[in-house]
Structure 1
Amino acid sequence: MRQFIASTASRLLQMLHTIEWLGPLTVRVVFGYFWLETGIAKVQNLEGFTMRFMGWGIPYPAFSAGLSAWTELLGGLLLMLGLFTRLVCVPMLINMAVAVTLVVSSNLMGLDDYVEADEVVYSLIFFWLLIAGPGKASLDTLLARMLGIRTAA
């Protein structure tokens, strides 16, 4: 019985290893689409988004709102494609740091509130993508292969 369980577990792990590329791909495509969609909405209503920035007291609200909206739109698109994934996570993390610092933190009272804040969860996903990379099924990996750059994937 023990050998059967070990053999079954080994086969299951081998099968999961063959599809490990699916995890990063799914996260990138779904998460990237979310940011592409929110970025498009903000770009299409930049005046309203700028007014929100003014209400939050964010410096240079028109410039900051435009930069934030376009960062989300282009960042989401690039994440979906898996192109410049690690690089694009940097401005996305900055966007989230600004959101947490200047907007969200005034409503957070303790550690539980921070852990449950959407922007903190988004930041963790960006951080994971920054460290782990886009995975095998990405334009980054394809470009690296074409350029002869060795990657861990």
Structure 2
Amino acid sequence: MRQFIADKASRLLEWLHASRWVGPLAVRLVFGYFWLETGIAKVQNLDGFTQRFVGWHIPHPAFNAALSAWTELLGGLFILLGLFTRLVCIPMIINMVVAVTLVVSANLMGLDDYVEADEVVYSLIFFWLLIAGPGKASLDTLVARWLGIRTQG
């Protein structure tokens, strides 16, 4: 019986290992679509989004609102496609740091509030994508293969 369980566990682990590309793909598709959608909404209502920046006392509100909105739109698109994923995560993280620092932190009272803030969770996902990369099922992987660059996985 013990050997039977060990064999089944071994097969399951082998299957999970062979399927490890699904996790990054699922995260990229959902997370990328989320940011693409929010970016489109902000770009389509840039005047309203700029007024929020004015209310938050962010310097140069028209420029910074447009920069933030287009960063989300293009960042979401590139993450969704798995193209320039690691590079795109850098401005997305900066966007989240600015949001936490200038907007969200005014409503946070302690460590629990910071840990539960959406922007902190988003930053961690961007950080994970920056470090781990987009996974095997991505345009980054196809481009790397075309260029003859060996990738992990």
Q: TM bucket by the smaller chain?
A: over 0.9
Q: Does residue 144 of structure 2 align to residue 144 of structure 1?
A: yes
Q: Which runs of 5+ in 1 are unaligned?
A: none
Partner of 1:111: 111
**Structure-2 separation of matches of 1:96 and 1:4:** 49
Partner of 1:92: 92
Q: CA deviation at 1:19?
A: 1.2
Partner of 1:26: 26
**Structure-1 separation of matches of 2:139 and 2:2:** 43
**Structure-1 separation of matches of 2:6 and 2:134:** 32
- Count of matched residue positions in the alignment of Structure 1 and Structure 2: 153
Amino acid at match of 1:33: Y
Partner of 1:130: 130
Amino acid at match of 2:72: E
Partner of 1:15: 15
Deviations 1:33-71 (A, max 9, x none): 000000000000000000000000111100000000000
Q: CA deviation at 1:14?
A: 0.8
Partner of 1:101: 101
Task: List, as ranges, runs of 4+ consecutive aligned residues in structure 1 with deviation greater than 4 Å.
Answer: none
Compute the TM-score of the two structures, normalised by the length of structure 1. Answer: 0.99
Compute the TM-score of the two structures, normalised by the length of structure 2. Answer: 0.99
Local SS of the residue matching 1:83:
coil
Local SS of the residue matching 1:131:
helix
Larger CA deviation: 134-143 vs 12-21:
12-21
**Structure-2 separation of matches of 1:85 and 1:118:** 21
Partner of 2:66: 66
Local SS of the residue matching 1:135:
coil
Local SS of the residue matching 2:103:
helix
Partner of 1:83: 83
Larger CA deviation: 35-44 vs 16-25:
16-25
Partner of 2:50: 50
**Structure-2 separation of matches of 1:85 and 1:69:** 18
Partner of 1:38: 38
Q: CA deviation at 1:150?
A: 1.1
Q: Percent identity?
A: 82
**Structure-1 separation of matches of 2:60 and 2:20:** 44
**Structure-2 separation of matches of 1:54 and 1:3:** 66
**Structure-2 separation of matches of 1:107 and 1:76:** 26
Q: CA deviation at 1:2?
A: 1.5
